[in-house]
Amino acid sequence: MGTRRSAVLAILLLIASAAESYARGVMTYIYDAPESSLDVRYLYHWEILRTALERTTPKWGAYRMVPSGFMTERRQAFELKSATGKLTVMYLSTTPDFEKSLIPIRIPVDKNLGGYCVFLIRADDQRRFASVRSIDDLRRFSYGLGLGWIDVDILKTNGFKVVTGSSYDGLFEMLVNRRFDIFLRAATEVLDEYGQRKKALPALHIEGNIIFYYPLPMYFWFPKTNEGRRLAARAEEGMRMMIADGTYDRIFDKYQRHKIEQLHLKERRVFRINNPFLGPETPFNDKRLWFDPKTYK
């Protein structure tokens, strides 16, 4: 009985805290929690958002960033579209559906560095990639991706064989167990992922010569509500202030420069495919927003 009473009290306190925050006008950004203790994919992205909110505090007032429970990408999209309040911001790639049903900040958060993919493979397969000369050569391999990831449809539309897994951590095991040939990883992610798992999975290897590229702008998304528009407007204002004064580039360099250099992105051979899901709103004309390994200094 005491445990039950404590649980009810905890819920009431949480509701009271949320109501108090709302009454004080605290803008609350509820974001998806990491998928596991090894999942560090989004530390950079949330620092970009946090910095943007700090920069706009004098004008917009107090804010909170609160992690939700873990949600799949599909669940995140559902919560935002339904405006349930369980999530108020998500970080995902653009899709025609999102463009219609949600509020985006059309600034690629990672400057599309995530569109420059490298291959996580089995170490004994490296020699198979030495003879790759064309996109058709790359179609000989099978690619592992997460169920529901937009990349699945991009690759399938371009004629690639894709094997999906329902668990992010499980995909590394699937690669080692030869369920597919390549776990396609963004340049922003692969070094951390490999470093965390190389002892437990010694067969893992980062392929050394190829970039597999497609434009994949990843945005912050918000519910299509009045509050969602307010949250988006504040975050975008802060991000554009950061771009103008160089803060954005400094944070990008802090998190990404060592990855760009360790992966030797400038020296790799680039194979490009199209992303058929991009709309005319994509801000290709603003070169400040896009990473290019050939011009990065």
pLDDT digits (tens, 9 = 90+) for 102-152: 999 999 999 999 999 999 999 999 999 999 999 999 999 999 999 988 899
Tokens of 58: 């004098």
pLDDT of res. 69? 84
Residue 186 makes CB contacts below 8 A (sequence gap 6+) with 110, 113, 114, 115, 116, 117
Confidence band, pLDDT 50/70/90 cuts, at residue 70: confident
Confidence of residue 72 (pLDDT cuts 50, 70, 90): confident
The confidence score (pLDDT) of residue 39 equals 65
pLDDT tens, 191-201?
A: 999 999 999 99
CATH domain 113-213 topology: D-Maltodextrin-Binding Protein; domain 2 (3.40.190)
Mean pLDDT of 11-37: 64
pLDDT band at 41 (very low <50, low <70, confident <90, very high): confident
Domain ranges of the chain: 2-112+217-263, 113-213
Can you tell me the mean pLDDT for 268-294?
94
pLDDT-based confidence at 73, cuts 50/70/90? confident
Where are the extended beta strands (E) located within the chain? 27-31, 63-67, 90-93, 103-105, 116-122, 142-146, 161-165, 182-186, 204-206, 210-213, 218-222, 269-272
Q: What pLDDT is recorded for position 37? A: 62
Q: Please give the pLDDT value at position 294.
A: 87
Flag whether pLDDT at 15 surpasses 70.
Answer: no
Secondary structure (DSSP) of 226-261:
HHHHHHHHHHHHHHHHHHHHTHHHHHHHHHHHHHHH
Q: Other CB atoms closer than 10 Å to residue 253's CB: what's the count?
A: 13
User: What one-character DSSP code corresponds to residue 71?
Assistant: -
What is the model's pLDDT at position 11?
40
Domains 2-112+217-263 and 113-213 share a fold: yes
Per-residue pLDDT averaged across 27-52, rounded?
A: 86
pLDDT at 20 over 50: no
pLDDT for 4 equals 46
Q: What mean pLDDT, rounded, does the chain reach?
A: 90
Instruction: Output the pLDDT for position 16.
Output: 45
- Distances in whole angstroms, Cα of residue 72 to Cα of each of 121, 128, 132, 218, 276: 25, 34, 34, 16, 23
What's the pLDDT band for 18 if we cut at 50, 70, 90? Answer: very low
Confidence check: pLDDT of 216 > 60: yes
**CATH, range 2-112+217-263:** 3.40.190.10
Using alpha carbons, select from 73, 52, 103, 64 the residue that is nearest to residue 238.
52
- Could you tell me what percent of the chain has a pLDDT over 70? 90
